[in-house]
């Protein structure tokens, strides 16, 4: 994981806002499930991030500040941990499906 470096001079960190929404179900396999990720910009500074995972009637939301280096490092760690955990689950399912003779894309 990269470690942010503090600048010796105070400057405004300018980033572009980020928004992404992906549907989680395959075509024809239901509707309403999605993941939404965003980073908001407030007067040229990182304001915060939001991750929403929704599946039909239930929704989970992760959010946090990006104002400080510590906040940004923690947000990066959370995202990295989510990716690691989901990859481990995907790998487990892949092995289970293979052992049962099922094909996985």
**What would the DSSP string read from start to end of 27-93?**
TTS-S--EEEEEEEEETTEEEEEEEEEEETTEEEEEEEE-SSHHHHHHHHHHHHHHHHHHHHHHHHH
Spans of all domains in the chain: 18-99
Supply the pLDDT for residue 44.
Answer: 60
Amino acid 10: pLDDT = 47
Do residues 38 and 64 touch, judged by C-beta distance below 8 A?
no
The pLDDT value given to residue 80:
97
pLDDT score for 43: 61
Return the pLDDT at 78.
Answer: 95
pLDDT in the model for residue 67: 83
Give the model's pLDDT for residue 16: 75
- The encoded tokens of residue 69 equal 């280096």
The predicted structure's pLDDT at residue 104? 73
The predicted pLDDT at position 9 comes to 45
Task: For tokens 């399912």, name the residue.
Answer: 93
Q: Residue 2: its pLDDT value, please?
A: 59
Average pLDDT, 10 consecutive residues per value, the chain (105 residues)? 53 71 89 91 75 92 90 94 97 93 81
Q: How many CA atoms lie within 13 A of 74 on its CB side?
A: 12
């Amino acid at each position: 994981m990269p470690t942010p470096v503090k600048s010796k001079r105070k400057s405004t960190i300018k980033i572009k806002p980020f928004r992404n929404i992906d549907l989680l179900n395959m075509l024809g396999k239901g509707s309403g499930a999605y993941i939404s990720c965003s980073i908001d910009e407030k007067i040229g500074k990182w304001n915060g991030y939001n991750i929403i995972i929704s599946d039909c009637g239930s929704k989970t939301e992760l959010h946090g500040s990006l104002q400080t280096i510590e906040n940004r490092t923690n947000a990066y760690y959370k995202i990295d941990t989510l990716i690691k955990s989901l990859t481990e689950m995907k790998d487990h399912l892949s092995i289970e499906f293979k052992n049962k003779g099922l094909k996985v894309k």
